[in-house]
Amino acid sequence: MDYFLGLIINGIVVGSIYSMVALGLVLIYKATEVVNFAQGELLMIGAYICLEIIHVTGMPFLVSFLMTMGFMVILALAIERLVLRRMMGAHALAVIMATIGIGIILRAVVLGVWGATSIPFPEVFPRQGIDLGVVTVSQLYLWSFILSLAFMAMFGAFFKFTRVGLVMRATASSRKAAESMGVPLTKIFAIAWIISAVVSGVGGVLTGNIAGLSPELSFYGVKVFPAVILGGLDSIVGATISGVIIGVLENLGGGYLKDLTGLHGLGPVAPFFILVAILWVRPTGLFGRKDIEKL
Amino acid sequence: MAATLLEVQQVGLNFGGVQALMDVSFSVSQGELFSIIGPNGAGKTTLFDCISGRYTPKGSIRINGVELVGQKSHLRPKLGIMRTFQNIALFPNETVEDNILVGSDYRLRSGLLRSCLYWSPLGCSRQEGSHRAQAREIMAELGVEQFANVPASELAYGTQKRVELARAMVAQPALLLLDEPMAGMTSGEKMEIAALVQKLNQERGITVVMIEHDMGVVMEISHRVLVLDFGRRIALGPPLEVIEDPLVRRAYLGEAV
């Protein structure tokens, strides 16, 4: 029972990070109609930058963390200005290829600067467990979970209650109407990229804390896809919930499938099985709209 | 004659081999209620799309002497131009009030960071309040205030059309482009919208350019009418003159109206 609960809690923690990164992916898709294939690389670069800031400046984690977020903002603006804005009106596939290119560049930078070996993250949150009554949870996990939730709540509130949020929602539902209302699309796209890069960076730092740093972190971009597809590519709520579902499935799969089948590494594959099964029943995902193009 | 507000000169546009607009020229005076008619595919909406910046045509389009061709679409509201769409383009999941508030937005925008700070829930300013008041006022004028908190997609078709008109009005445009504001309405609803458009034109002094198929309404409320056929201007003048024009009669009879 403890083993089971442990897997579930592990899954929820990892899943909450997936949720956050999935939110970033959905946000860019909703605002710009482009699937960002560099999402995992943004996560990876965030983790490395945070580590580098800690090493070089010796500043406390919180300051380095905030500086990392600042870096992600600048990186997002650079990507938007230098690559995506120039491709306005280009075929969606071309833009997707460009994001793949950005991902490759970021990975090359990481390999060039930090190498391919895994680097441990300095301990920020103690790994000692806290007794929550039913189960003992590592403080690191607890903090990761709380931070992901806090970031998601913050951006949720931003979309729901601010004017920029309203304008972003409006732009996602009809670009031509938003533009005719005086909404500068490029600014909205830039904000979407900024938020998306920041949440990915945060996800990277948290994941790095849990698992250490390696270029493998970029694989998170792929891992987040089942969450996004499961939730419906255009649903922020869906992505958030599905992220946790995928995290839990992955952990349960990793925990039990090995014993059942004698095969290693089935954990990360498990969500994809479920994904395919769900898409048979609901091709637009659990929360996706049926008719994305209405007019 | 009042001053010229909108000046369209030798506007042309082709899509591939199709000449959608050819050498179209006309001007609209301040305070005019100006209609554009023509058979389907005559280029009416395309012309609107040129004015509102979706397409970049050849030729020149000026508002108050400012050249529009080549300028970005989202700058139109700043120059006093707002439009509605033939197939309603509301934001379906947002409430009527929020739909309208998006339209009052452009005046707040000066620098990305500043606007973000400005719009933060804490910094909700006097201006935010005055925008809401303004939105309420417009909703009341167009008779949609009871739907302020209803998502746009839940409204009846005719009401959605009104909301779209309200949304265009909130930016206090000098020029209102209405693309078939009465399409698909009952004759009663049409009369109401026609009266509303006339009221906005007369009482608020808004210049209106309207694409409309209902000839009765066009004849009754327009000051002047432009007729397009196959992307060309075939007539321009007061409604009664235009309707007698042999070219117009041929275009419409050939089209089996």
Predicted pLDDT at B125: 58
Task: Please check the confidence at residue B256 and state whether its pLDDT lies above 60.
Answer: no
Percent of chain B with pLDDT over 90: 53
Q: For B100-122, what is each residue's pLDDT tens digit?
A: 988 776 554 444 444 555 454 44
Predicted pLDDT at A182: 87
Q: Which two tokens stand for residue A97?
A: 């290829």
Residue to substitute from A180, A291, A292, A295, interface B, most B β-carbons within 10 A: A180
Predicted pLDDT at B11: 93
More confident residue, B244 or A77: A77
Nearest by CB to residue B76, choosing from A163, A180, A295, is: A180
**For A133, phi and psi rounded to 5 degrees?**
95, -75
Give the number of beta-carbon pairs within 8 Å between A and B: 89
Whether residues A162 and B91 touch (CB distance < 8 A) is answered with no
The pLDDT of B74-87, averaged and rounded, is: 90
Whether residues B90 and A167 touch (CB distance < 8 A) is answered with no
Whether residues A163 and B85 touch (CB distance < 8 A) is answered with no
- Which residue reads 């006339």 in tokens? B198
Residue to substitute from A88, A181, A188, interface B, most B β-carbons within 10 A: A181
Q: Place B5 in a pLDDT band, splitting at 50, 70 and 90.
A: very high
Q: Which residues of A8-37 are buried (b: 16+ CB within 10 A; e: fewer)?
A: bbbbbbbbbbbbbbbbbbbbbbbbbebbbb
Nearest by CB to residue A180, choosing from B52, B93, B109, is: B52
Compute, in degrees rounded to 10, the torsion defined by CA atoms A139, A142, A143, A145: 160
Shortest alpha-carbon distance between residue A41 and chain B (Å): 26
What is this model's ipTM? 0.82
Predicted pLDDT at A292: 44
Domain coordinates in residue numbering, chain A: 2-220
Compute, in degrees rounded to 10, the torsion defined by CA atoms B131, B133, B139, B141: -120
Q: Side chain identity at A256, as an amino acid letter?
A: Y
Q: Residues for chain A: how many in total?
A: 295
Nearest by CB to residue A177, choosing from B72, B85, B119, is: B85
Q: Are A169 and A159 in contact (CB under 8 A)?
A: yes
Predicted pLDDT at A197: 95
> In chain A, what residues touch B128 (CB-CB under 8 Å)?
163
> In chain A, what residues touch B89 (CB-CB under 8 Å)?
174, 176-177, 180, 295
- Which residue reads 């906005």 in tokens? B200
> CA–CA separation, A203 vs A40, rounded Å?
10
Q: Are A45 and A113 in contact (CB under 8 A)?
A: no
Predicted pLDDT at A121: 87
Q: Are B220 and B31 in contact (CB under 8 A)?
A: no
Shortest alpha-carbon distance between residue B50 and chain A (Å): 12
Q: For B214-254, what is each residue's pLDDT tens digit?
A: 888 999 999 999 999 999 999 999 999 998 888 888 887 66
Predicted pLDDT at B116: 52
Whether residues B115 and A190 touch (CB distance < 8 A) is answered with no
Q: For A278-292, what is each residue's pLDDT tens digit?
A: 888 887 777 766 544
Q: Nearest to residue A43, comparing CAs of A252, A289, A176, A219?
A: A219
Strand pairing report for B175-179 and B207-211: parallel
Residue to substitute from B73, B167, B170, interface A, most A β-carbons within 10 A: B73
Predicted pLDDT at B164: 92
Q: To which H or E segment does residue B9 belong?
A: strand B4-15
> CA–CA separation, A176 vs B102, rounded Å?
13
The pLDDT of A73-83, averaged and rounded, is: 94
Q: Are A135 and A2 in contact (CB under 8 A)?
A: yes
Q: Side chain identity at A236, as an amino acid letter?
A: I
Q: For A147-168, what is each residue's pLDDT tens digit?
A: 999 999 988 888 888 888 888 8
Average pLDDT of every residue of chain A: 87
User: Computed over its alpha carbons, how large is the radius of gyration of chain B?
Assistant: 19
Whether residues A183 and B91 touch (CB distance < 8 A) is answered with no
Whether residues B102 and A185 touch (CB distance < 8 A) is answered with no
Q: Are A5 and A176 in contact (CB under 8 A)?
A: no
> In chain A, what residues touch B105 (CB-CB under 8 Å)?
163, 167, 181-183
User: Computed over its alpha carbons, how large is the radius of gyration of chain A?
Assistant: 19
Predicted pLDDT at B33: 96
> In chain B, what residues touch A179 (CB-CB under 8 Å)?
53, 73-74
> In chain B, what residues touch A236 (CB-CB under 8 Å)?
none
Predicted pLDDT at A295: 32
Whether residues A164 and B116 touch (CB distance < 8 A) is answered with yes
Q: For A12-62, what is each residue's pLDDT tens digit?
A: 998 999 999 999 999 898 888 888 999 999 999 999 999 999 999 888 899
* Structural domains in chain B, sorted by start: 4-80+173-254 (3.40.50.300), 94-159 (no CATH)
Predicted pLDDT at A289: 63
> In chain A, what residues touch B78 (CB-CB under 8 Å)?
182
Q: Are B126 and A167 in contact (CB under 8 A)?
A: no
The pLDDT of B118-140, averaged and rounded, is: 70
> In chain A, what residues touch B171 (CB-CB under 8 Å)?
181-182
Q: Side chain identity at A228, as an amino acid letter?
A: V
Q: Are B213 and B190 in contact (CB under 8 A)?
A: no
> Measuring CA to CA, how many Å separate B188 from each of B81, B101, B160, B185?
28, 29, 16, 8
Task: Please check the confidence at residue B24 and state whether its pLDDT lies above 90.
Answer: yes
Give the B-side interface with A, CB within 8 Å: 52-54, 72-78, 82-83, 85, 87, 89-94, 98-99, 101-103, 105-106, 108-109, 112, 115-116, 119-121, 128, 167, 171
Whether residues B99 and A170 touch (CB distance < 8 A) is answered with yes
Q: Are A163 and B119 in contact (CB under 8 A)?
A: yes
**Is the full-model pTM beyond 0.90?**
no
Q: Are B99 and B192 in contact (CB under 8 A)?
A: no
Q: Are A192 and A31 in contact (CB under 8 A)?
A: yes
> CA–CA separation, A214 vs A218, rounded Å?
8
